[in-house]
A and B are shown apart, each in its own frame.
Chain A
Amino acid sequence: MTQSEQLVIECGAPAQWEVAERAARSSLKTQVARLERELSAIVVDAFPHLSPAELPDATGAAIGGPCLLTLEALERTRDRLAGRVQDMRRLAAERVEHERFSRELLERMKLEPGRYKFVRLPVRDLGQGGCGVWEVRPRLGLIGMLAGWWQVKLSSGCP
Chain B
Amino acid sequence: MITADRLRGVMQTSIVLTELQHNQVQVRLVQILLSMTMVFAALDPAALILGAHTSLTHQVALLAYSPTLLAYSFVALAVLMLPHALMQAFCPAHPWRRGITQLACFALLLASLQWMYLAYLSLALDIGAITFIWIKTAIGALGYSLIMALSLNAERARQYFDCHQ
Binding partners A and B: no
